[in-house]
Amino acid sequence: MEHVSLVAVAVALLYLGALACIYRILLTYRTSQGAIAWIVGLLALPYLTVPLFLLIGRYRFGGYIKARRMGDQSLTGLLSRFEQQTTSIPAPGDQRFHDELQVLCKLGRQPFTSGNRCTLLRDGEATFEALFEAMEDATRYILLEFYIVRSDRVGQRIKSILERKLAQGVEVWFLYDDIGSVWLPRKYLRELSDAGARVASFGDGNIRRRRFQINFRNHRKLLVCDGRVGFVGGINLGDEYLGTALQQAPLRDTHCRIEGPAVAGLQLAWLEDWNWASDELPALDWSTGERSAGEEDVLILPTGPADAWETCTLFFLNCINNARSRIWIASPYFVPDFQIMNALQLAALRGIDVRILIPETPDSHLVKLAAYSYLVQACQAGIGIYRYQPGFLHQKVILVDDRYAAIGTANLDNRSMRLNFEISAIMTDSRFVGEVEEMLKDDLRNCRLMTESDYRDRSILFRLACRAIRLSAPLL
Protein backbone atom coordinates (compact mmCIF):
# COMPACT_ATOMS: atom_id res chain seq x y z
CA MET A 1 0.00 0.00 0.00
CA GLU A 2 2.85 2.35 0.84
CA HIS A 3 4.40 1.71 -2.59
CA VAL A 4 1.04 2.45 -4.30
CA SER A 5 0.64 5.68 -2.35
CA LEU A 6 4.12 6.82 -3.36
CA VAL A 7 3.33 6.15 -7.01
CA ALA A 8 0.07 8.06 -6.65
CA VAL A 9 1.91 11.02 -5.10
CA ALA A 10 4.51 10.94 -7.88
CA VAL A 11 1.82 10.88 -10.58
CA ALA A 12 -0.05 13.72 -8.88
CA LEU A 13 3.12 15.80 -8.66
CA LEU A 14 3.86 15.07 -12.30
CA TYR A 15 0.46 16.32 -13.42
CA LEU A 16 0.77 19.35 -11.17
CA GLY A 17 4.05 20.04 -12.92
CA ALA A 18 2.30 19.64 -16.27
CA LEU A 19 -0.42 22.09 -15.19
CA ALA A 20 2.26 24.57 -14.10
CA CYS A 21 3.89 24.26 -17.53
CA ILE A 22 0.51 24.77 -19.24
CA TYR A 23 -0.09 27.85 -17.09
CA ARG A 24 3.23 29.29 -18.25
CA ILE A 25 2.48 28.43 -21.89
CA LEU A 26 -0.90 30.17 -21.80
CA LEU A 27 0.69 33.31 -20.39
CA THR A 28 3.66 33.50 -22.76
CA TYR A 29 3.00 31.56 -26.00
CA ARG A 30 3.85 33.23 -29.30
CA THR A 31 2.31 30.82 -31.78
CA SER A 32 -0.93 28.91 -31.22
CA GLN A 33 0.41 25.85 -33.08
CA GLY A 34 3.38 25.52 -30.73
CA ALA A 35 1.23 26.11 -27.67
CA ILE A 36 -1.33 23.46 -28.69
CA ALA A 37 1.43 20.93 -29.41
CA TRP A 38 3.00 21.46 -25.99
CA ILE A 39 -0.34 21.32 -24.15
CA VAL A 40 -1.39 18.09 -25.86
CA GLY A 41 1.98 16.53 -25.06
CA LEU A 42 1.87 17.67 -21.44
CA LEU A 43 -1.58 16.16 -20.91
CA ALA A 44 -1.00 12.93 -22.83
CA LEU A 45 2.63 12.12 -21.95
CA PRO A 46 3.61 14.28 -18.98
CA TYR A 47 6.49 12.00 -17.92
CA LEU A 48 8.20 12.76 -21.25
CA THR A 49 6.96 16.25 -22.01
CA VAL A 50 7.47 17.94 -18.63
CA PRO A 51 11.27 17.33 -18.62
CA LEU A 52 11.41 18.27 -22.31
CA PHE A 53 9.54 21.51 -21.67
CA LEU A 54 11.85 22.39 -18.79
CA LEU A 55 14.79 21.80 -21.12
CA ILE A 56 13.69 23.55 -24.33
CA GLY A 57 10.15 24.82 -23.87
CA ARG A 58 10.47 28.45 -22.83
CA TYR A 59 10.41 31.22 -25.44
CA ARG A 60 11.22 34.23 -23.29
CA PHE A 61 14.51 34.69 -21.50
CA GLY A 62 12.88 35.98 -18.32
CA GLY A 63 16.06 36.18 -16.27
CA TYR A 64 17.75 38.46 -18.80
CA ILE A 65 14.65 40.67 -18.95
CA LYS A 66 14.61 40.98 -15.16
CA ALA A 67 18.32 41.79 -15.07
CA ARG A 68 17.83 44.43 -17.77
CA ARG A 69 14.97 46.08 -15.84
CA MET A 70 16.69 45.92 -12.45
CA GLY A 71 20.22 46.50 -13.72
CA ASP A 72 22.66 49.21 -12.85
CA GLN A 73 21.36 52.70 -13.55
CA SER A 74 24.55 53.57 -15.40
CA LEU A 75 23.82 50.85 -17.97
CA THR A 76 20.22 52.04 -18.28
CA GLY A 77 21.50 55.56 -18.80
CA LEU A 78 23.95 54.51 -21.48
CA LEU A 79 21.26 52.61 -23.36
CA SER A 80 18.81 55.49 -23.13
CA ARG A 81 21.31 58.17 -24.17
CA PHE A 82 22.46 56.18 -27.20
CA GLU A 83 18.88 55.34 -28.19
CA GLN A 84 17.90 59.00 -28.03
CA GLN A 85 20.75 60.23 -30.21
CA THR A 86 19.68 61.97 -33.38
CA THR A 87 19.21 59.33 -36.03
CA SER A 88 21.00 60.01 -39.30
CA ILE A 89 18.91 58.26 -41.94
CA PRO A 90 19.98 58.80 -45.56
CA ALA A 91 17.84 59.97 -48.47
CA PRO A 92 15.70 62.43 -46.46
CA GLY A 93 13.62 63.19 -49.56
CA ASP A 94 12.43 59.59 -49.73
CA GLN A 95 9.83 59.38 -46.97
CA ARG A 96 9.15 55.68 -47.51
CA PHE A 97 12.84 54.83 -47.15
CA HIS A 98 13.05 57.04 -44.07
CA ASP A 99 10.09 55.26 -42.45
CA GLU A 100 11.44 51.84 -43.38
CA LEU A 101 14.76 52.50 -41.67
CA GLN A 102 13.16 54.31 -38.74
CA VAL A 103 11.34 51.08 -37.92
CA LEU A 104 14.68 49.29 -37.65
CA CYS A 105 15.96 51.96 -35.25
CA LYS A 106 12.93 51.41 -33.03
CA LEU A 107 13.36 47.64 -33.15
CA GLY A 108 17.01 47.78 -32.10
CA ARG A 109 16.63 50.78 -29.79
CA GLN A 110 19.67 52.25 -31.49
CA PRO A 111 20.08 55.14 -33.95
CA PHE A 112 21.50 55.11 -37.44
CA THR A 113 24.87 56.80 -36.97
CA SER A 114 26.79 58.71 -39.63
CA GLY A 115 30.54 59.16 -39.98
CA ASN A 116 31.47 55.46 -40.13
CA ARG A 117 33.87 53.53 -42.32
CA CYS A 118 33.01 49.89 -43.11
CA THR A 119 35.16 47.20 -44.66
CA LEU A 120 33.62 44.02 -46.09
CA LEU A 121 35.58 40.92 -45.06
CA ARG A 122 34.61 38.26 -47.56
CA ASP A 123 36.12 35.15 -45.98
CA GLY A 124 37.80 33.70 -42.95
CA GLU A 125 41.32 34.58 -44.05
CA ALA A 126 40.52 38.28 -44.47
CA THR A 127 38.51 38.30 -41.24
CA PHE A 128 41.13 36.71 -39.03
CA GLU A 129 43.87 38.88 -40.48
CA ALA A 130 41.82 41.98 -39.62
CA LEU A 131 40.88 40.64 -36.16
CA PHE A 132 44.50 39.84 -35.31
CA GLU A 133 45.67 43.27 -36.50
CA ALA A 134 43.02 45.13 -34.49
CA MET A 135 43.85 43.21 -31.31
CA GLU A 136 47.59 43.79 -31.81
CA ASP A 137 46.91 47.53 -32.18
CA ALA A 138 44.74 47.77 -29.04
CA THR A 139 46.21 49.95 -26.32
CA ARG A 140 43.46 50.03 -23.64
CA TYR A 141 40.97 47.14 -23.87
CA ILE A 142 39.65 44.29 -25.99
CA LEU A 143 36.05 43.00 -25.81
CA LEU A 144 35.27 39.60 -27.34
CA GLU A 145 31.93 37.83 -27.66
CA PHE A 146 31.71 34.66 -29.75
CA TYR A 147 29.30 31.75 -29.94
CA ILE A 148 32.00 29.19 -30.77
CA VAL A 149 35.60 29.37 -29.62
CA ARG A 150 37.93 26.50 -30.40
CA SER A 151 41.34 25.60 -29.04
CA ASP A 152 42.75 25.00 -32.53
CA ARG A 153 45.32 27.08 -34.42
CA VAL A 154 43.03 30.09 -34.72
CA GLY A 155 41.95 29.80 -31.10
CA GLN A 156 45.54 29.45 -29.90
CA ARG A 157 46.60 32.46 -31.99
CA ILE A 158 43.81 34.49 -30.38
CA LYS A 159 44.86 33.38 -26.90
CA SER A 160 48.51 34.14 -27.64
CA ILE A 161 47.68 37.69 -28.74
CA LEU A 162 45.42 38.26 -25.75
CA GLU A 163 48.05 37.01 -23.30
CA ARG A 164 50.65 39.27 -24.88
CA LYS A 165 48.34 42.30 -24.76
CA LEU A 166 47.47 41.55 -21.13
CA ALA A 167 51.19 41.57 -20.30
CA GLN A 168 51.33 45.03 -21.91
CA GLY A 169 48.57 46.31 -19.64
CA VAL A 170 45.66 46.02 -22.06
CA GLU A 171 42.45 44.86 -20.37
CA VAL A 172 40.60 41.88 -21.88
CA TRP A 173 37.00 40.78 -21.39
CA PHE A 174 36.19 37.42 -22.96
CA LEU A 175 32.53 36.31 -23.27
CA TYR A 176 31.57 32.96 -24.84
CA ASP A 177 28.45 30.81 -25.08
CA ASP A 178 28.64 27.58 -23.09
CA ILE A 179 26.51 25.64 -25.61
CA GLY A 180 28.39 26.74 -28.72
CA SER A 181 31.76 26.38 -27.01
CA VAL A 182 30.92 23.16 -25.18
CA TRP A 183 34.14 21.52 -26.43
CA LEU A 184 36.41 24.41 -25.46
CA PRO A 185 38.86 23.00 -22.87
CA ARG A 186 38.68 24.47 -19.38
CA LYS A 187 42.47 24.76 -19.58
CA TYR A 188 42.12 27.33 -22.37
CA LEU A 189 39.85 29.50 -20.24
CA ARG A 190 41.91 28.99 -17.10
CA GLU A 191 45.11 30.10 -18.84
CA LEU A 192 43.39 33.22 -20.15
CA SER A 193 42.06 33.98 -16.69
CA ASP A 194 45.46 33.37 -15.07
CA ALA A 195 46.97 35.86 -17.54
CA GLY A 196 44.57 38.51 -16.25
CA ALA A 197 41.61 38.30 -18.63
CA ARG A 198 38.06 38.55 -17.32
CA VAL A 199 36.30 35.43 -18.64
CA ALA A 200 32.56 34.71 -18.48
CA SER A 201 30.09 32.25 -19.97
CA PHE A 202 26.70 33.50 -21.12
CA GLY A 203 24.91 30.55 -19.53
CA ASP A 204 26.79 29.86 -16.32
CA GLY A 205 27.24 32.02 -13.26
CA ASN A 206 25.33 32.39 -10.04
CA ILE A 207 21.95 30.81 -9.38
CA ARG A 208 20.08 33.91 -10.62
CA ARG A 209 21.61 33.55 -14.06
CA ARG A 210 21.82 29.78 -14.44
CA ARG A 211 19.41 28.76 -17.16
CA PHE A 212 18.40 25.11 -16.89
CA GLN A 213 17.65 25.19 -20.62
CA ILE A 214 19.57 24.76 -23.85
CA ASN A 215 17.22 27.01 -25.84
CA PHE A 216 18.66 30.43 -25.14
CA ARG A 217 22.03 30.83 -26.80
CA ASN A 218 24.22 33.83 -27.37
CA HIS A 219 24.85 33.45 -31.09
CA ARG A 220 26.59 36.82 -31.47
CA LYS A 221 30.11 37.15 -32.88
CA LEU A 222 31.72 40.49 -32.24
CA LEU A 223 34.97 42.14 -31.25
CA VAL A 224 35.59 45.71 -30.07
CA CYS A 225 39.05 47.21 -29.53
CA ASP A 226 39.45 50.43 -27.52
CA GLY A 227 35.92 51.51 -28.44
CA ARG A 228 37.46 52.59 -31.74
CA VAL A 229 37.10 49.62 -34.09
CA GLY A 230 34.54 46.82 -34.08
CA PHE A 231 33.78 43.63 -35.98
CA VAL A 232 30.52 41.76 -36.51
CA GLY A 233 29.41 38.92 -38.78
CA GLY A 234 28.98 35.17 -38.99
CA ILE A 235 32.51 33.96 -38.33
CA ASN A 236 33.37 32.11 -35.12
CA LEU A 237 36.87 31.50 -33.80
CA GLY A 238 37.96 28.25 -35.44
CA ASP A 239 40.11 26.70 -38.15
CA GLU A 240 37.07 25.60 -40.18
CA TYR A 241 36.87 29.09 -41.71
CA LEU A 242 40.36 28.64 -43.17
CA GLY A 243 39.86 25.13 -44.53
CA THR A 244 42.44 23.74 -42.12
CA ALA A 245 39.97 21.71 -40.08
CA LEU A 246 38.64 18.28 -41.08
CA GLN A 247 36.26 19.44 -43.81
CA GLN A 248 37.62 19.70 -47.36
CA ALA A 249 36.64 23.31 -48.07
CA PRO A 250 36.58 26.28 -45.69
CA LEU A 251 33.26 27.51 -44.43
CA ARG A 252 31.98 30.28 -46.71
CA ASP A 253 31.31 33.18 -44.37
CA THR A 254 31.37 36.96 -44.14
CA HIS A 255 32.28 39.54 -41.52
CA CYS A 256 32.72 43.32 -41.53
CA ARG A 257 34.99 45.83 -39.85
CA ILE A 258 33.52 49.11 -38.58
CA GLU A 259 35.15 52.32 -37.45
CA GLY A 260 33.18 55.28 -36.18
CA PRO A 261 30.16 56.02 -33.96
CA ALA A 262 28.45 52.69 -34.77
CA VAL A 263 31.13 50.92 -32.71
CA ALA A 264 29.35 52.31 -29.65
CA GLY A 265 26.32 50.23 -30.68
CA LEU A 266 28.42 47.06 -30.76
CA GLN A 267 29.94 48.00 -27.44
CA LEU A 268 26.53 48.55 -25.85
CA ALA A 269 25.28 45.16 -27.04
CA TRP A 270 28.41 43.55 -25.59
CA LEU A 271 28.08 45.46 -22.32
CA GLU A 272 24.49 44.37 -21.77
CA ASP A 273 25.44 40.73 -22.36
CA TRP A 274 28.50 41.03 -20.11
CA ASN A 275 26.43 42.61 -17.35
CA TRP A 276 24.01 39.69 -17.53
CA ALA A 277 26.81 37.10 -17.44
CA SER A 278 28.98 38.65 -14.72
CA ASP A 279 27.11 41.45 -12.89
CA GLU A 280 29.96 43.76 -13.90
CA LEU A 281 29.99 47.04 -15.83
CA PRO A 282 33.52 47.76 -17.08
CA ALA A 283 34.45 51.40 -17.62
CA LEU A 284 34.66 51.77 -21.41
CA ASP A 285 35.42 54.58 -23.83
CA TRP A 286 32.26 56.10 -25.33
CA SER A 287 33.91 59.04 -27.08
CA THR A 288 33.89 57.14 -30.38
CA GLY A 289 30.29 58.31 -30.74
CA GLU A 290 31.65 61.80 -31.20
CA ARG A 291 34.38 60.97 -33.72
CA SER A 292 33.93 60.55 -37.46
CA ALA A 293 35.91 57.86 -39.28
CA GLY A 294 34.22 58.08 -42.67
CA GLU A 295 30.98 59.01 -44.40
CA GLU A 296 28.85 55.87 -44.06
CA ASP A 297 25.56 55.42 -42.19
CA VAL A 298 25.31 52.29 -40.04
CA LEU A 299 22.74 50.80 -37.66
CA ILE A 300 23.63 48.08 -35.17
CA LEU A 301 20.59 45.84 -34.59
CA PRO A 302 20.78 43.48 -31.58
CA THR A 303 17.89 41.01 -31.34
CA GLY A 304 16.94 38.31 -28.87
CA PRO A 305 14.33 36.58 -26.69
CA ALA A 306 14.53 39.32 -24.05
CA ASP A 307 13.08 41.89 -26.47
CA ALA A 308 9.53 43.16 -26.11
CA TRP A 309 8.77 42.02 -29.68
CA GLU A 310 10.02 39.25 -31.94
CA THR A 311 12.62 41.70 -33.13
CA CYS A 312 14.49 39.40 -35.50
CA THR A 313 11.28 38.23 -37.20
CA LEU A 314 10.12 41.82 -37.63
CA PHE A 315 13.51 42.78 -39.06
CA PHE A 316 13.27 40.11 -41.77
CA LEU A 317 9.64 40.98 -42.49
CA ASN A 318 10.51 44.66 -42.81
CA CYS A 319 13.25 43.86 -45.31
CA ILE A 320 11.11 41.49 -47.37
CA ASN A 321 7.94 43.57 -47.40
CA ASN A 322 9.72 46.79 -48.36
CA ALA A 323 11.91 45.37 -51.11
CA ARG A 324 11.22 47.15 -54.41
CA SER A 325 13.29 45.25 -56.94
CA ARG A 326 15.14 42.44 -55.18
CA ILE A 327 15.90 40.77 -51.91
CA TRP A 328 18.77 38.29 -51.72
CA ILE A 329 19.33 36.37 -48.50
CA ALA A 330 22.24 34.06 -47.72
CA SER A 331 21.71 31.74 -44.75
CA PRO A 332 23.03 28.29 -43.82
CA TYR A 333 19.57 27.31 -42.56
CA PHE A 334 16.30 27.78 -44.45
CA VAL A 335 13.50 26.74 -42.10
CA PRO A 336 11.19 29.79 -42.17
CA ASP A 337 7.94 30.03 -40.26
CA PHE A 338 4.68 30.78 -42.08
CA GLN A 339 5.07 34.57 -41.67
CA ILE A 340 8.46 34.69 -43.35
CA MET A 341 7.47 32.18 -46.03
CA ASN A 342 4.28 34.09 -46.86
CA ALA A 343 6.21 37.36 -47.06
CA LEU A 344 8.77 35.81 -49.43
CA GLN A 345 5.98 34.41 -51.63
CA LEU A 346 4.17 37.76 -51.77
CA ALA A 347 7.41 39.54 -52.64
CA ALA A 348 8.06 37.14 -55.51
CA LEU A 349 4.44 37.38 -56.73
CA ARG A 350 4.66 41.16 -56.94
CA GLY A 351 7.72 40.85 -59.18
CA ILE A 352 10.56 41.16 -56.67
CA ASP A 353 13.73 39.19 -57.45
CA VAL A 354 13.78 36.86 -54.42
CA ARG A 355 16.85 34.65 -54.07
CA ILE A 356 17.75 32.47 -51.11
CA LEU A 357 21.30 31.09 -50.94
CA ILE A 358 21.72 28.01 -48.79
CA PRO A 359 24.43 25.31 -48.64
CA GLU A 360 24.26 22.12 -50.66
CA THR A 361 25.54 20.28 -47.60
CA PRO A 362 24.69 21.97 -44.28
CA ASP A 363 25.98 20.78 -40.93
CA SER A 364 22.58 19.31 -40.07
CA HIS A 365 20.92 16.63 -42.18
CA LEU A 366 17.58 17.38 -40.52
CA VAL A 367 17.79 21.03 -41.58
CA LYS A 368 18.60 19.96 -45.14
CA LEU A 369 15.56 17.70 -45.29
CA ALA A 370 13.30 20.36 -43.77
CA ALA A 371 14.46 22.89 -46.39
CA TYR A 372 13.33 20.53 -49.20
CA SER A 373 9.77 20.69 -47.89
CA TYR A 374 9.55 24.40 -48.78
CA LEU A 375 10.79 23.93 -52.33
CA VAL A 376 7.48 23.52 -54.17
CA GLN A 377 5.95 26.53 -52.39
CA ALA A 378 9.00 28.59 -53.24
CA CYS A 379 9.29 27.59 -56.88
CA GLN A 380 5.60 28.07 -57.63
CA ALA A 381 5.78 31.63 -56.31
CA GLY A 382 8.96 32.40 -58.24
CA ILE A 383 11.40 32.31 -55.33
CA GLY A 384 14.86 31.18 -56.38
CA ILE A 385 16.47 28.67 -54.02
CA TYR A 386 20.19 28.37 -54.75
CA ARG A 387 22.37 25.70 -53.20
CA TYR A 388 26.02 26.68 -52.77
CA GLN A 389 28.28 23.90 -54.05
CA PRO A 390 31.96 24.33 -53.03
CA GLY A 391 31.50 23.96 -49.27
CA PHE A 392 29.34 24.85 -46.29
CA LEU A 393 27.85 28.32 -46.82
CA HIS A 394 27.59 29.78 -43.32
CA GLN A 395 27.22 33.52 -44.00
CA LYS A 396 24.19 35.54 -42.92
CA VAL A 397 23.80 38.36 -45.44
CA ILE A 398 20.78 40.33 -46.68
CA LEU A 399 20.74 42.61 -49.74
CA VAL A 400 17.65 44.80 -50.24
CA ASP A 401 17.53 46.39 -53.71
CA ASP A 402 20.58 48.61 -54.07
CA ARG A 403 19.60 50.54 -50.94
CA TYR A 404 21.02 48.65 -47.98
CA ALA A 405 22.71 45.46 -46.87
CA ALA A 406 22.94 43.63 -43.56
CA ILE A 407 25.83 41.51 -42.27
CA GLY A 408 25.27 39.61 -39.07
CA THR A 409 24.55 36.39 -37.22
CA ALA A 410 20.80 35.75 -37.80
CA ASN A 411 19.65 32.73 -39.81
CA LEU A 412 16.34 32.06 -41.56
CA ASP A 413 15.11 29.71 -38.85
CA ASN A 414 13.04 29.73 -35.69
CA ARG A 415 16.06 29.64 -33.41
CA SER A 416 17.37 32.97 -34.71
CA MET A 417 13.88 34.50 -34.90
CA ARG A 418 12.82 33.64 -31.36
CA LEU A 419 15.47 31.94 -29.24
CA ASN A 420 18.99 33.18 -29.95
CA PHE A 421 20.64 36.46 -29.12
CA GLU A 422 21.72 37.78 -32.53
CA ILE A 423 23.23 40.97 -33.92
CA SER A 424 23.44 42.56 -37.36
CA ALA A 425 25.00 45.65 -38.90
CA ILE A 426 22.90 47.45 -41.52
CA MET A 427 24.71 49.65 -44.05
CA THR A 428 23.23 52.05 -46.61
CA ASP A 429 26.41 53.30 -48.29
CA SER A 430 26.24 52.67 -52.05
CA ARG A 431 29.88 51.57 -52.22
CA PHE A 432 29.46 48.99 -49.47
CA VAL A 433 26.11 47.78 -50.86
CA GLY A 434 27.76 47.38 -54.27
CA GLU A 435 30.52 45.25 -52.75
CA VAL A 436 27.94 43.01 -51.09
CA GLU A 437 26.13 42.67 -54.42
CA GLU A 438 29.33 41.62 -56.21
CA MET A 439 30.15 39.16 -53.43
CA LEU A 440 26.72 37.51 -53.67
CA LYS A 441 26.95 37.40 -57.46
CA ASP A 442 30.23 35.50 -57.08
CA ASP A 443 28.51 33.13 -54.66
CA LEU A 444 25.59 32.64 -57.04
CA ARG A 445 28.03 31.54 -59.77
CA ASN A 446 28.93 28.67 -57.43
CA CYS A 447 25.32 27.75 -56.77
CA ARG A 448 22.83 25.33 -58.28
CA LEU A 449 19.30 26.67 -58.83
CA MET A 450 16.82 24.16 -57.46
CA THR A 451 13.58 23.21 -59.17
CA GLU A 452 10.37 21.49 -58.10
CA SER A 453 11.70 18.23 -59.53
CA ASP A 454 14.42 18.19 -56.86
CA TYR A 455 11.60 17.41 -54.47
CA ARG A 456 8.83 15.86 -56.60
CA ASP A 457 11.11 13.30 -58.28
CA ARG A 458 12.36 11.92 -54.98
CA SER A 459 10.89 8.83 -53.35
CA ILE A 460 7.71 9.02 -51.33
CA LEU A 461 9.70 8.06 -48.23
CA PHE A 462 12.05 11.03 -48.78
CA ARG A 463 9.13 13.43 -49.18
CA LEU A 464 7.38 12.05 -46.12
CA ALA A 465 10.59 12.45 -44.12
CA CYS A 466 10.93 16.07 -45.27
CA ARG A 467 7.36 16.90 -44.31
CA ALA A 468 7.63 15.09 -40.97
CA ILE A 469 10.86 16.86 -40.04
CA ARG A 470 9.30 20.19 -41.01
CA LEU A 471 6.86 19.68 -38.13
CA SER A 472 9.81 20.01 -35.76
CA ALA A 473 10.99 23.24 -37.40
CA PRO A 474 10.57 25.26 -34.16
CA LEU A 475 13.16 23.00 -32.53
CA LEU A 476 15.73 22.87 -35.38
Name the residues annotated as catalytic. Answer: 219, 221, 226, 394, 396, 401
Rounded to the nearest 5°, which phi and psi values hold at 328? -115, 130
Cα angle 363, 331, 248; round to 5: 40
Q: Which of 343, 447, 349, 435 is nearest to 397 (CA)?
A: 435
Instruction: Confirm if 152 and 238 have CB atoms less than 8 A apart.
Output: yes
Please give the full DSSP string across 404-439, using - where no structure is assigned.
Answer: EEEEES--EEHIIIIISBEEEEEE--HHHHHHHHHH
| Relative orientation angle of helices 95-108 and 311-322, to the nearest 10 degrees | 170
Task: Please tell me the distance from the alpha carbon of residue 374 to that of residue 259, in angstroms, as a whole number.
Answer: 40
180, 204 contact by CB (below 8 A): no
Query: What does the alpha-carbon distance between residue 34 and residue 31 come to, in Å, rounded to a whole number?
Result: 6
The Cα–Cα gap between 177 and 149 comes to: 9
Phi, psi at 304, each rounded to 5°:
175, 175
- Within 10 A of 189 (CB to CB), how many other CB atoms are there? 20
Output the CA torsion 260→262→267→272 (10° steps): 160
DSSP bridge partners of 199? 174
Q: Which of 299, 274, 474 is nearest to 398 (CA)?
A: 299
Task: Write the DSSP assignment of 243-271 as a string of letters.
Answer: T-SSSSS--B--EEEEESTTHHHHHHHHH
What are the C-alpha distances in Å from 13 to residues 18, 26, 97, 138? 9, 20, 56, 56
